[in-house]
Amino acid sequence: MSETHHTTTTSPTPDEPRSPQQVADDVVARVLARAGTALHAGGTVHSSYDGDQLELEERTSLRRVAGLSTELEDVTEVEYRELRLEKVVLVGVWGSSSSGGTSNGTLQDAEVSLRELAALAETAGSTVLDGLLQRRAKPDAGTYLGSGKAAELASVVAAAGADTVIVDGELAPSQRRALEDIVRVKVIDRTALILDIFAQHAKSREGKAQVELAQLEYLLPRLRGWGESMSRQAGGQVGGAGAGMGSRGPGETKIELDRRRIRNRMAKLRREIAAMEPARLTKRASRKRHAIPSVAIAGYTNAGKSSLLNRLTHAGVLVENALFATLDPTVRRAETVDGRVYTLADTVGFVRALPHQLVEAFRSTLEEVADADLILHVVDASHPDPEGQIAAVRHVFADIPGAMDVPEIIVLNKADLAAPEVIARLRSRELHSIVVSAHSGEGIAELQALIADQLPRPGVAVDVVVPYQRGDLVNRVHEHGDIDHEEHTADGTLLRARVDESLAAELEAASVRRA
């Protein structure tokens, strides 16, 4: 029997035992009490390494605000592009299968997931009004919740005055339509919500194209037509009153026309993304040709990846206490403590149940992870479920060919906020890990030393005298090689070092013969 839980249940007296329904009501109450943490929990705290953050000021100025009427009283309001906040109700399902004893999620899992959904909703620009948590063996095939529980949801929506329902899962097209017909407001699922955030935050031409492609792939099976626009244009002989000349057509419905347009647009976007790939491949090939090692920063969204990039390179990229603040990858130059040059790439964050459409659309960007020499897997050690975040990120790694073969360092970030027992537990589980705080600087020196130790070292030994007019070669040895001995002689600079094969060949060709 299914149980539904929302915040309107009467609290028990102190002498009464707490029912599962009341326990689940407490889960929803805690989620609602902490709603807003995506944007407003003390604001976004920056360090001096984050730069001027001009992009954050621009993004904040365009954020939707509460209480703004959709009716313009003054034409100057058009200049602000601020829209009325959507009012949403969250819906979650949890429980375990009655057969086989396999778990479909615990109450704790449901709370973590629903809290994340609230943060996603507010990052997208909405106000969370209420929530409903239902225990079921599995979602109903018709309405996701079952007809009775869907009717109960409709009353919750009406009482709260909400205009949107967000389901913590992926809805089939038929489930979404059936649920909308009952609650009489817009219904979206977790995938649509994440796609909406990506659409808001993508800045680069490639990022926008990747997001649009993912949105169209999601939309294609979910098209829904209305009324006369869906009627089939008849081909050939037509019977019935009003039919005949003027009513014959190609025999294609409006929804079929829409699907064809979407497929054509998707094909064009794929061509555009493919056309952008050579530029990235050229840059990557140039780095490989000059034997510049690469490090990729990956991890769960809002784990502090951009803050870590700023701390290590002074890149000044956008830092915001919000989910999916960074979508466009950033590559910056960095140096190890012993002077070797390497690149540091900030990648898009991951999330539980990351829509497969996004994984496919961003595959070319995610390849930065697979092509790296080292992955810094950043984990928010202060999160309620850091192990779940690690598992979700590795699940995405498994979908990227070659990513699982790259050496990985678990960077336990936000050490200044995390509980010591949580850090100890994570370090016992992840042996190749380090504790840092990108905000305070704790552990950063140790991380830089570990990066220098883990990056591949040049493998060809050279013993050459480089003429003084080829100082460019000496500089490259300093940047990309390991120097054992350097001496200035009458004929040039004597170098005993280890370098990559291509640089070794250039050094041998330019070397002065010694007597």
Q: Give the strands of the sheet with 330-335, arranged side by side.
A: 330-335, 341-346, 294-299, 374-380, 408-413, 433-435
pLDDT over 80 (residue 442)? yes
Q: Are 178 and 201 in contact (CB under 8 A)?
A: no
Between 361 and 269, the higher pLDDT residue = 269
Burial of 401 (0-12, 13-18, 19+ CB in 10 A): exposed
Q: Are 350 and 399 in contact (CB under 8 A)?
A: no
Tokens (6 digits) for 252:
């294609």
- Same fold: 3-10+20-44+66-201 with 292-454: yes
Separation of alpha carbons 348 and 324, rounded Å: 7
Separation of alpha carbons 294 and 342, rounded Å: 6
- Choose the weakest-confidence range: 27-36, 61-70, 189-198, 368-377: 61-70
How high is the pLDDT of residue 167? 93
What average pLDDT does range 389-405 have in this prediction? 88
Q: Which helix (H) or strand (E) holds 32?
A: helix 20-33
- Choose the weakest-confidence range: 69-73, 245-249, 487-491: 69-73
Map out the domains of the chain as residue ranges: 3-10+20-44+66-201, 292-454, 460-510
Q: What is the largest CA-CA distance in the chain?
A: 106
What is the phi/psi pair of residue 428, to 5°?
A: -75, -30
- For 244-258, the pLDDT digits (tens) are 555 555 555 777 888
- Kindly give, in sequence order, each residue whose CB lies less than 8 Å from that of residue 482, ignoring residues fewer than 6 positions away: 338, 340, 457, 458, 497, 498, 499
Quickly name the fold that domain 3-10+20-44+66-201 has.
Rossmann fold (3.40.50)
- For 144-182, the pLDDT digits (tens) are 988 888 999 999 999 999 989 999 988 998 999 999 999
- First-to-final CA distance of the chain: 92
- Give the count of beta carbons closer than 10 Å to the beta carbon of residue 18: 11
Alpha helices for 305-443 (secondary structure H)? 305-313, 356-361, 363-370, 386-397, 420-429
How high is the pLDDT of residue 386? 92
Separation of alpha carbons 214 and 358, rounded Å: 5
How high is the pLDDT of residue 477? 87
Planar angle of CA 217, 223, 227, nearest 5 degrees: 165
DSSP tag of 221: G
pLDDT over 90 (residue 327)? no
Q: What is the mean pLDDT of the chain?
A: 77
Q: Give the strands of the sheet with 164-167, arranged side by side.
A: 3-6, 126-135, 86-94, 164-167, 186-189
- Choose the weakest-confidence range: 48-62, 436-450, 498-512: 48-62
Q: Are 140 and 14 in contact (CB under 8 A)?
A: no
Does the global pTM surpass 0.75?
A: no
Planar angle of CA 411, 195, 356, nearest 5 degrees: 70
What is the phi/psi pair of residue 457, to 5°?
A: -105, 150
User: If you compute the radius of gyration of the chain from its CA atoms, what whole number of angstroms results?
Assistant: 28
- For 24-49, the pLDDT digits (tens) are 677 777 877 765 444 444 455 555 55
Reported confidence tier of residue 409, pLDDT bands at 50, 70, 90: very high
Separation of alpha carbons 87 and 251, rounded Å: 41
Determine the CATH number of domain 292-454. Answer: 3.40.50.300
